[in-house]
Amino acid sequence: MSIAVDHADRVAETTDSRGRLEVRGVSKTFTVNGAPIAALNDVSLTVAPGEFVALLGPSGCGKSTLLRLIAGLDRDYTGRIVQDGNAVTGTSLERGIVFQEPRLFPWATVRQNIALGLKNAPISEAGKREAVAAHIALVGLDGFAEAYPHQLSGGMAQRAAIARGLVNRPRLLLLDEPFGALDALTRARLQTELQRIWAHEKITMILVTHDVDEAVFLGDRVVVLAPRPGRISRIFDVAAARPRARSDDALIRLRNEVLRTLEHDGADDGKAGQSNRSGA
Amino acid sequence: MASETTATSSAAIGLRRGLVLPLLLLVAWEAGSHSGLVNPQFLPPLEKVGQVAWQELANGELPYALAASLKRDLLGFALGAGFGTVVGLLLGLSRIADRIFTTWFNGLKQIALLAWIPLISLWFGFDEAAKVVFIALAAAIPVILNTVEGVRSTSTKLREVGEVFRFSPLQLVWSLYLPAATPSMLTGLHLGLIYAWLATIGAEYFMAAGPGIGGLIISGRERFEMALVMLGIVVVGLVGFVVDRSATWVEHRLVRWRTA
């Protein structure tokens, strides 16, 4: 536990306390064939500036829905979402997002796609060019600036999407299963890259995933969601030091514990899960 | 054949195969015309058509007629394509315009093109202006339909990217809807070019006589010069072919991001 506290202190020191997110009592209902379906039920979560939170859960637990609400892409919900004291009422350049698919504009080169993120940024053209070039280098796409999306591999396209999400330096980056469609090797490489970028940029990140290893490897906290209705089942603190190694014993123990929680949630599907916290 | 695997030789094979049918038809034409099975007055032999072509080229009649037709065609196309693009973008982008006009427009496009000629003649006379309006109408219809289709089929996933980056309505149109609709719009313009050329000949047939390939064919019929009629038809086909090929070439150039 003491390691966890130290880690939290370090996070507080190294960031300028921007990128704080509060989710208070958020519920969301979809209507399917005239019948209301509860996608999220009374979800509350506070994310500290510079923190990396992994939202983990089986499909249908509302984790992607929650991310879309935070992004401001869906405004039809009850409850409050507040970033740095401002209520989320729509999309904002303060919040970047990387989707599961790269969603690059197929008619634009990598450079032009990344520059899309700066279209409405209040900086000079020269500043924009510099920022784009810096982010191409950050995600390791040097030499591919003039390539079109159809010329990129899945992993490279997702790197470009990450650069586009980061280029206007949002305080909060939302990642919606960004590596879900990639092969295992590429996924592992990009997870390591993302850890490096997060440490380098010191911005708050919220990652939605259904991959337990990914959540444990990347997150400061792993928030496990349970389905029907989508709700927070349990929150795990991940105290392992960074940069992390996948073979770390503490990580593997935590991973097994998270897996047991997921299995347990699946077993008593429908009943409200216990909400408690556990250190690793 | 197996050894010929390069792109050039397969293109050459394609060309050779493509030429088989037209060459056979020409041989049949020539044979039919000379054998006495067909009255040469109705089917003049090829050398007669060639001779008329040379004569019409030398006296400047053919270039003059072709230039008049092409000028009419391109002017009508430019007007129709411009109008069609604007209308198509409005219908595609504006929900209000869509609700007011789309049903109405879908009704209008059911009216056969040639059925417009009496109306256009009453409104614009029988002269050059009426012909150009008719050609413009022919070109506008596929341009409108394909522009609307292109804008509507823009991916909502990409639209969300624009929303995340706070695109203004103008930025959405310029950076998202227009490029996304470009392939479909080019298809519409391509069809518009073909329709415009068909309408050019139609207008020259059905409206007041004047310089043009259509006029040349009509005068051939009136003087019972079958070779001249044949020449006119061949030229119409050749122009259509060249227009279609050039449009395809330009399309490929402009949407190269699509090809893998």
Residue A111 falls inside a structural domain = yes
State the nearest Cα–Cα gap between B139 and chain A, in angstroms.
27
- Indicate the range of A126-135, A171-180, B93-102 predicted with least confidence: B93-102
Q: Which helix (H) or strand (E) holds A83?
A: strand A78-83
Query: Are both A85 and A143 inside the same structural domain?
Result: no
Interface list for chain B against chain A, based on CB atoms closer than 8 Å: 157-158, 160-161, 163-168, 171, 175-176, 179-180, 182, 255, 257-260
**Residue B46's pLDDT is what?**
85
Query: Are both A153 and A14 inside the same structural domain?
Result: no
Mean pLDDT, rounded, of chain A? 86
State the nearest Cα–Cα gap between A231 and chain B, in angstroms.
26
Query: Are both A21 and A86 inside the same structural domain?
Result: yes
How distant, in Å, are the alpha carbons of A124, A134, B67, B83 from that of B232?
Answer: 60, 63, 13, 31
**Residue B7's pLDDT is what?**
57
**Residue A215's pLDDT is what?**
94
Query: Are both A143 and A40 inside the same structural domain?
Result: no
Q: Which of A169, A197, A224 is the last residue of a domain?
A: A169
Beta partners for A236?
A222, A278
**Residue A158's pLDDT is what?**
92
CB A70 within 8 A of CB A90: no
Sketch out chain B's domains with CATH numbers.
Answer: 46-259 (1.10.3720.10)
Q: Look at chain A and count its residues.
A: 280
Place of tokens 């603190």: A237
Percent of chain A whose predicted confidence (pLDDT) is above 90: 58
Q: Is the CB of B175 less than 8 angstroms away from the CB of A105? A: yes
Q: Is the CB of B180 less than 8 angstroms away from the CB of A92? A: no
B-chain residues near A106 (CB < 8 A): 257-258
- The model's pLDDT over A220-256, given as tens digits with 9 standing for 90+, comes to 999 999 988 889 999 999 988 888 888 888 899 999 9
Cis geometry, peptide bond prior to residue A243 (ω within 30 degrees of 0):
yes
Give yes or no for residue A17 having a pLDDT over 50.
yes
Residue A280 falls inside a structural domain = no
Query: Are both A46 and A11 inside the same structural domain?
Result: yes
ipTM, 2 decimals? 0.83
Number of domains in chain A: 2
**Residue A270's pLDDT is what?**
44
CB A222 within 8 A of CB A54: yes
- Direct distance between the N- and C-terminal alpha carbons of chain B, in angstroms, rounded to an integer: 28
Residue B8 pLDDT grade (very low, low, confident, very high; cuts 50, 70, 90): low
Question: Is A162 in a helix, a strand, or coil?
Answer: helix
CA distance A143 to B44: 64
Would you call A89 an interface residue with chain B, using a CB distance cutoff of 8 Å? no
Query: Are both A83 and A126 inside the same structural domain?
Result: no
**Residue B4's pLDDT is what?**
42
Residue A274 falls inside a structural domain = no
Residue B259 pLDDT grade (very low, low, confident, very high; cuts 50, 70, 90): low
Would you call A91 an interface residue with chain B, using a CB distance cutoff of 8 Å? yes
Give yes or no for residue B147 having a pLDDT over 90.
yes
State the nearest Cα–Cα gap between A86 and chain B, in angstroms.
17
Give yes or no for residue B81 having a pLDDT over 90.
yes
**Residue B166's pLDDT is what?**
93
Q: Is the CB of A106 less than 8 angstroms away from the CB of B258? A: yes
Q: Which helix (H) or strand (E) holds A130?
A: helix A125-138
- Indicate the range of B49-58, B81-90, B101-110 predicted with least confidence: B101-110
Q: Which three-class secondary structure string do you get for chain B? A: CCCCCCHHHHHHHHHHHHHHHHHHHHHHHHHHHHHCCCCCCCCCCHHHHHHHHHHHHHCCHHHHHHHHHHHHHHHHHHHHHHHHHHHHHHHHHCHHHHHHHHHHHHHHCCCCHHHHHHHHHHHHCCCHHHHHHHHHHHHHHHHHHHHHHHHHCCCHHHHHHHHHCCCCHHHHHHHHHHHHHHHHHHHHHHHHHHHHHHHHHHHHHHCCCCCCHHHHHHHHHHCCCHHHHHHHHHHHHHHHHHHHHHHHHHHHHHCHHHCC
Between these two residues, B105 and B235, which has the higher pLDDT value? B235
CATH no. for residue A16?
3.40.50.300
Place of tokens 């313009």: B189
Between these two residues, B12 and A69, which has the higher pLDDT value? A69
Residue A248 falls inside a structural domain = yes
Q: Is the CB of B166 less than 8 angstroms away from the CB of A93? A: yes
**Residue A53's pLDDT is what?**
96
Query: Are both A63 and A165 inside the same structural domain?
Result: no
How distant, in Å, are the alpha carbons of A197, B75, B131 from that of B117?
Answer: 67, 18, 9
CB atoms closer than 10 angstroms to residue A194: 24
Q: Which helix (H) or strand (E) holds A225?
A: strand A221-226
Q: Which of A115, A147, A169 is the last residue of a domain?
A: A169
* Among candidates A71, A96, A106 on the partner chain, residue whose Cβ is nearest the Cβ of B257: A106
Sign of CA dihedral B180, B182, B188, B190: negative
- Torsion, CA A98, CA A104, CA A109, CA A111, rounded to 10: -20
CB atoms closer than 10 angstroms to residue A166: 23
**Residue B18's pLDDT is what?**
80
What's the domain range around A112?
Answer: 101-169
Place of tokens 């047991």: A260
Query: Are both A79 and A192 inside the same structural domain?
Result: yes
Q: Which of A169, A192, A213 is the last residue of a domain?
A: A169
Q: Degrees (nearest 5) of the Cα angle A67, A73, A78?
A: 75
* Among candidates A93, A95, A101 on the partner chain, residue whose Cβ is nearest the Cβ of B157: A101
Query: Are both A224 and A158 inside the same structural domain?
Result: no
CA atoms within 13 A on the CB side of B55: 9
Q: Which three-class secondary structure string do you get for B34-87? A: HHCCCCCCCCCCHHHHHHHHHHHHHCCHHHHHHHHHHHHHHHHHHHHHHHHHHH
Give yes or no for residue A6 having a pLDDT over 50.
no
Residue A278 falls inside a structural domain = no
Query: Are both A67 and A112 inside the same structural domain?
Result: no
Q: Which helix (H) or strand (E) holds A217?
A: helix A212-218
- Torsion, CA B206, CA B211, CA B214, CA B216, rounded to 10: 130
Phi, psi at B198, each rounded to 5°: -60, -45
What would the mean pLDDT of B157-173 be, rounded to a whole number? Answer: 94
Residue A279 falls inside a structural domain = no
- The model's pLDDT over A36-78, given as tens digits with 9 standing for 90+, comes to 888 999 999 999 999 999 999 988 888 999 999 999 999 999 9
Query: Are both A164 and A178 inside the same structural domain?
Result: no
Query: Are both A121 and A208 inside the same structural domain?
Result: no
Give yes or no for residue A275 having a pLDDT over 80.
no
> Helices B7-35 and B46-58 sit at what angle, rounded to 10 degrees?
100
State the nearest Cα–Cα gap between A97 and chain B, in angstroms.
8
Q: Look at chain B and count its residues.
A: 260
Percent of chain A whose predicted confidence (pLDDT) is above 70: 89
CB A186 within 8 A of CB A154: yes
